[in-house]
Amino acid sequence: MKKLTPTIAIDGPAASGKGTLARRLARHFGFHHLDTGLTYRGVAHALLEGNMLLDNEDMACLVAEKLDLGSLNKDILSAHEIGEAASKVAVMSKVRGVLVDAQRKFANKEPGAVLDGRDIGTVVCPDAEIKLYITASPEKRAERRHREISQKAQEGAEVATFEQILADIMKRDERDMGRSDSPLKPAANAHLIDTSEMSIETAFNTALSLVEQALWE
């Protein structure tokens, strides 16, 4: 391997499949994995729980400083309202600064780390050994999210329609790509993978071969 503690940076829009790829790559290489979206969600959740305003930057910073990356509970933090709140928290530069510092520390863990999010290749780990940008059309992403939610839902429970999910995804893209601090965009040297027409297996094998080339050649 070229470097002793490599970093694999994975970015992309909501529901692009980047989380699944990041988890599988981390497992394959025996690396640590951080879903950085959970850090923004963790701050948003704590603010909501404490009945605090989502746009109070100083309060959000205090919460971010206390956040323990080891105790982020994906099951709780995956809730739709927390995702919406997280994308509001994520526009505040001071909060981003605190979370980015913690994410950079995580990226240096031995024997290596995979981080996924929106600004890993551009801001958090600009020197990562390999950067992937995972994308898919908004319709495909909405379709996958809709299927996932419908499968998890209890029988008889009301689930969001495809159209509602598509509208949410487009709104989230606009907020993530349009913010002034660290907007979502591919790093100049990122490899683009469009998974619209790919199975998870094909997407994983495509990502794996790019990572292997970067780490070993």
Q: Which of residues 10-29 bind ligand DC (CB under 6 A)?
A: 14
Does residue 13 contact residue 176 with C-beta atoms inside 8 Å? yes
- Which residue has tokens 């989502």? 54
91 close to 181: Cβ distance less than 8 angstroms: yes
Structure tokens at 202: 């094909």
* 119 is a contact residue toward ligand DC (CB under 6 A): yes
Closest CA to 183 of 172, 199, 196: 172
Please tell me whether residue 45 binds ligand DC under the rule CB under 6 A.
no
Is residue 107 within 8 Å of 126, Cβ to Cβ?
A: no
**Interface mask (CB under 6 A) for ligand DC, residues 124-163, using x and -?**
----------------------------------------
With tokens 């490599």, the residue in question is 6
Among 31, 40, 133, 204, binds ligand DC (CB under 6 A): 40
Contact pick of 21, 64, 176, 203 for ligand DC (by CB under 6 A): 176
Binding ligand DC (rule: CB under 6 A), the pick from 7, 87, 195, 206 is 87
Q: Are 25 and 120 in contact (CB under 8 A)?
A: no
Which span sits near ligand DC by CB under 6 A: 112-120, 125-133, 160-168, 203-211? 112-120
Interface residue list for ligand DC (CB under 6 A): 14, 36-37, 40-41, 83, 86-87, 90, 117-119, 172, 176
